[in-house]
């Protein structure tokens, strides 16, 4: 049981659990897609960025790279850069490869790539390596107050 799962259960949210074997990888999203036999563009990675106005979370398909200028514009900030992994772990309370957008230590501005709307369900980290959560875009918007924007 992870903080992300507890948060969703407490909210009476509808989600699915997907467990898979996972060790350290360079590309956790691609590994999850392969293990779970789902399209890579349906697996969304949780990326932490930072700028002068603070941290912003980006949820983008594992098959894509985030455009930091688009992300900054969507979040209403001037400029963003990728956060160092150790800082992302301290800020969220999760380990890299298992950073969930749900139940982070501090509520951060979250922006979801618009491509998520093409899927009934997207997979995001469940709060530890080897655990994904199947969620709807509507759930991401309602529970995280997420912004939907073109990020890739």
All residue ranges of the chain with pLDDT < 50 are none
Output the domain CATH number for residue 98: 3.90.960.10
Number of domains in the chain: 1
This prediction's pTM: 0.93
User: What is the structure's pLDDT at 29?
Assistant: 84
User: What is the structure's pLDDT at 33?
Assistant: 87
d(Cα 40, Cα 94) in Å, to the nearest integer? Answer: 22
Residue range(s) defining the domain that contains residue 143: 3-149
Which residues pair with residue 148 across a beta bridge? 112
Segment 59-95, tens digit of pLDDT: 999 999 999 999 999 999 999 999 999 999 999 999 9
User: What is the structure's pLDDT at 49?
Assistant: 98
């Amino acid at each position: 049981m992870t903080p992300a799962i507890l948060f969703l259960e407490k909210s009476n949210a509808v989600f699915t659990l997907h467990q898979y074997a996972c060790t350290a990888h360079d590309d956790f999203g691609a590994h999850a897609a392969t293990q779970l036999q789902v399209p890579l563009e349906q697996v969304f990675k949780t990326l932490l960025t930072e700028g002068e106005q603070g941290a912003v979370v980006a949820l983008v398909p594992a098959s894509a790279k985030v455009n930091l200028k688009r992300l900054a514009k969507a979040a209403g900030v001037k400029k963003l850069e990728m956060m160092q992994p150790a800082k992302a772990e301290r800020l969220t309370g999760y380990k890299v490869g298992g950073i969930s957008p749900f139940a982070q230590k501090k509520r951060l501005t979250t922006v979801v790539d618009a491509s998520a709307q093409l899927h009934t369900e997207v997979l995001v980290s469940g709060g530890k390596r080897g655990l994904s959560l199947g969620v709807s875009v509507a759930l991401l918007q309602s529970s995280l107050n997420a912004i939907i924007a073109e990020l890739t």
